[in-house]
Amino acid sequence: MKYENVLLIGGPRDGEWTSVIAGVPGIKLCVLPKKSARIVSQPPDVQDTIDEVFYRRYPIQSSQAMYTSVYVCGDVDVLAALINGYHGGREAFEKMADKRGYNTEQYEGRYVISMTQELYDFWSGSPK
């Protein structure tokens, strides 16, 4: 089997790379709950629900005979996202910002530190 590394666009894994069997038309990925530990008072037979999301294959071919694919979840305009300098979603930004020591605390959907907000605006290509 041949594998390829592909970019995931949209959904909860937005901006991440993963390895898939080449040419597979779509992939289902599990979305784990945010909490990482079981509450002690919770009975052992109660289980968290695990959601799944579907990413569909979007093949791309360049004029230089490069053949590749991205996998898309939802109604994302793939070419516009790639042309506009796609970097990934908010989770990808926060992962990068945390590694560099930025404060990613938010209030009402905006970062409390103006420098972090300005960096996110630049990252996402949003207008000022």
Q: What is the pLDDT, as a whole number, of residue 128?
A: 38
pTM for this model (two decimals): 0.59
Q: Residue 105 class from Cβ within 10 Å (0-12 exposed, 13-18 middle, 19+ buried)?
A: exposed
Radius of gyration of the chain (CA): 18
Do 97 and 119 touch, CB atoms closer than 8 A?
yes
Segment 72-111, tens digit of pLDDT: 998 888 887 776 666 666 777 788 788 888 888 888 778 8
